[in-house]
Amino acid sequence: MEKKKLVLIGNGMAGIRTIEEILKLLPEEFEITVFGKEPYPNYNRIQLSKVLQGDTEIKDITLNEWDWYEENNIRLYPGETVTKIDKDIQTVYTDKGKETPYDYLIIATGSNPFMLPLPGADKEGVTAFRDIEDCEKMIHASKNYKRAAVIGGGLLGLEAARGLLNLGMEVDVIHIADYLMERQLDRSAGKLLQEELEAQGMNFLLEKQTAEILGKKRVTGLRFNDGGKIPADLVVMAVGIKPNVQLAKDTGLEINRGIVVNDHMETNVPNIYAVGECAEHNGMVYGLVAPLYEQGQALAKHICGMNHQGYKGSVLSTQLKVSGVNVFSTGLINETDQTKSIKVFDEWRNTYKKILVEDDKLAGAVLFGDTKEGTKLLSLIKKGANVEEYLESSQSQDDNESIVVSMGDEEVICGCNGVTKGTIVNAIKTQNLTSVEEVKGCTNASRSCGTCKSLVADLLTHTLGDEYEADEKETVCACTDLSRDEVIAEIKEKHLTHSREVMNVLGWKTEEGCSKCKPALNYYLGMVYPKEHEDERESRFVNERLHANIQKDGTYSVVPRMYGGVTNAEDLRTIADVAEKYDVGMIKLTGGQRIDLLGIKKEDLPSVWKDLGMPSGYAYGKTLRTVKTCVGAEFCRFGTQDSTGMGIKLEKKFEGLNTPHKVKMGVSACPRNCAEGGIKDVGVIGLDGVWEVYVGGNGGTDLRKADLLAKVKTEDEVLEYTAAFLQYYRENARYLERTSHFVERVGLELIQEVVFNDELRQELCKRMDDALSVYKEPWNEVLESETTLRDLYEKVHAK
């Protein structure tokens, strides 16, 4: 039997999901052809903002790889646009001259960004934010320009703004309403979101309507209809989307706002269907992923001839992460005369919850900050639950227990893909799944927006019990089955203050540990009890024990401290004299702008230090190594800030700090970034009137560009944010985990959430001060202790 020809116009999320559903039902039935105007396979448009931020590649947000099309025998024509449909002979025509007949045609052309028809909207530097090409345009602009204006304070606009901030631009968001995301949030939540985003560096101009885009060839600014103006080198229009219906219209399909479809997603022309953002069902055009997927499912069943009640419309809910802040809303958002509301505003944790009740039934909800209850509220609202049912279920909720435990099997965990708890649990059990990734692969849960990942993880734990934890756990070393977190928890709970005590009490499998756990425990103990724990020299690697760098021949290198890489004639003379006196093998400038004296015998170390009379440069430790600086405003004609001064302050403050791994810093005085802060653990860039603090860069084994943590105004704030970041790293990283891996693992957003919280930041800074208070200059300490000199530096010469 000849296969039926199925043609899909639009290679996006809704269309491809429909194809996936069809393949699930009848894998061999159709000969499938897909046309997509973008030159990419189906990607996750929701995560476009990640591409904009520059650290995610297209392949990371790709949902269906090229292979997938091939494996399923789908003919894909990327970068090819369908220009005409002949509904009579059932054939489509493309801009590349292709003719393809169909038995079934699915139109999933999505939507186009709505571009305000403003004077000047055609200028260079004006863009939408809709596809990968737009992202590339914006990334390119960020390299050459500084000021961006985003028109639209809805979700899309805010994501664009966040991306542009990350790209180092200054961002104004212009919004017509008096609070943000007014379609998804109420005023209270909108204002909370605004405060949060302002703290991250966004600037808002509310109740402003743009009248004109200024500039000659390229945009230079915006004028509002109240006469006000702002400068801008890049304008992003993110005011909304409109269904892309041109082709359907030309074909003579019935169009209202979108392509009008019935419950089976059929248009008014036989064998032509529409699905996704371009379709209008029962007067509604949906722009969120969950309804689009529900439509796709309904359409697939219909095309495959399954008996199905069809699509009945969706209860809208939004569960989003805007710039690291979780927000959720569903159903009714604003109070009416008929509603009563339950409101909880927790100023301490900065969370807000509002539940609207109409005729004793749950009618809507808005959550800000903590959205764990979102899935539960959505399913209660969907089934029209009584408010009492909700109140009872939240009372019985144990705070420590995940919300998934009390959920029914039919309740939806992944809103985007409509995956229920029952489906996930069943998959975990029958297919022996043990990780979130596997669950994602099998069930699609968490595959789209990713906000339900934590729920999926909870379900794994709940279903598999300890097994799951064991699978995921990374132990400190082979001497124990405990993870870093468990060991630290025990140290705190049982007040353990010595490594040997930790090993005894926690049942170490080896007598005295190994070269992995010994230094790790010593570090953790010092981190938890900075004042109480006595550093254990026998748990230190030789370099840190002897305060010099061992070389391959058993000699050592000495690097004197040279704050900020700044020195003077007298110090240089002293160093030269010492080098001659001890006949050093090589004098070398280090990567961190210091002088390294190599080939010094262990026995000579103390006298070298004494002759130098300088503090240890700590070139050997898991600690702050160096702060590399550029010349700065004092001399450089480009410098805008005193980078050397800032570098010296940083180095003086943090020298000798014990950290999980080495920490390198760089301070530059202009965006040329001569001190290479982009590949440092902490990189500071001084701009006119502002300092940017970058974190998590690495120029070593795993090259990684640092992320912008914060923009601050003063040197004191640079010290404060650096202290908070480093303390958070000290407290949460695994021993020997560099900041680059740490930032990657926990995510910049979480770190920002913590360090931007005034309360938490101050606590971190306080604990940092405690840690720094015990610092003693190590070379001098050695010189003052005869026992240490004898124990560590003297050798025995046989007689």
User: In a 10 Å sphere around its CB, with 0-12 CB exposed, 13-18 middle and 19+ buried, how is residue 249 labelled?
Assistant: exposed
| Closest to 156 in 3D by CA, of 222, 242, 232 | 242
Shortest reach from residue 504's CB to another protein, in Å: 12
Question: Is 466 or 538 the residue whose CB approaches another protein more closely?
Answer: 538
Shortest reach from residue 778's CB to another protein, in Å: 16
Which residues, at least 6 apart from 67, have a Cβ–Cβ distance to it below 8 Å?
A: none
The annotation status of 674 as a binding-site residue, yes or no, is yes
Shortest reach from residue 616's CB to another protein, in Å: 18
Question: Is 303 or 477 the residue whose CB approaches another protein more closely?
Answer: 477
Q: How far apart are CA 71 and CA 61, in angstroms?
A: 20
Half-sphere exposure of 59 (CA within 13 A, CB side): 2
Q: How far apart are CA 114 and CA 137, in angstroms?
A: 17
Please give the residue ranges that form the binding site for another protein (CB under 8 A): 510-515, 518-519, 537-543, 545-546, 550, 552-554, 602, 790-792, 795-799
Shortest reach from residue 583's CB to another protein, in Å: 19
Question: Is 354 or 518 the residue whose CB approaches another protein more closely?
Answer: 518
Question: Is 498 or 705 the residue whose CB approaches another protein more closely?
Answer: 498
Structure tokens at 243: 């269904």
Question: Is 569 or 796 the residue whose CB approaches another protein more closely?
Answer: 796
Shortest reach from residue 443's CB to another protein, in Å: 40
Shortest reach from residue 796's CB to another protein, in Å: 4
Q: How far apart are CA 776 and CA 779, in angstroms?
A: 9
Number of CB atoms found within 10 A of residue 577's CB: 12
DSSP H or E segment with residue 316 = none
Q: How far apart are CA 287 and CA 276, in angstroms?
A: 8
Question: Is 519 or 564 the residue whose CB approaches another protein more closely?
Answer: 519
Secondary structure E strands in 513-623: 549-550, 556-558, 586-589, 595-600
DSSP H or E segment with residue 66 = helix 66-71
Q: How far apart are CA 138 and CA 234, in angstroms?
A: 8
Question: Is 388 or 553 the residue whose CB approaches another protein more closely?
Answer: 553
How many residues does this entry show for the chain?
799
Shortest reach from residue 474's CB to another protein, in Å: 19
Shortest reach from residue 534's CB to another protein, in Å: 14
Question: Is 203 or 788 the residue whose CB approaches another protein more closely?
Answer: 788
Which residues, at least 6 apart from 623, have a Cβ–Cβ distance to it below 8 Å?
A: 655, 656, 657, 658, 659, 662, 663
Place of tokens 């055009």: 285
Shortest reach from residue 588's CB to another protein, in Å: 20
Place of tokens 């030269």: 576
Shortest reach from residue 626's CB to another protein, in Å: 23
CA dihedral 280, 282, 287, 292 (to 10 degrees): -90
Question: Is 540 or 738 the residue whose CB approaches another protein more closely?
Answer: 540
Question: Is 519 or 645 the residue whose CB approaches another protein more closely?
Answer: 519
The annotation status of 670 as a binding-site residue, yes or no, is yes
Q: How far apart are CA 595 and CA 498, in angstroms?
A: 36
The annotation status of 630 as a binding-site residue, yes or no, is yes
Structure tokens at 109: 């052309």
- Label each residue of 626-686 as H, E or C: EEEECCCCCCCCCCCCCHHHHHHHHHHHHCCCCCCCCEEEEEECCCCCCCCHHHCCEEEEE
Q: How far apart are CA 559 and CA 154, in angstroms?
A: 54
Q: How far apart are CA 489 and CA 317, in angstroms?
A: 38
Which residue positions form the known binding site for [4Fe-4S] cluster?
A: 630, 636, 670, 674
Which residue positions form the known binding site for siroheme?
A: 674
Which residue positions form the known binding site?
A: 630, 636, 670, 674
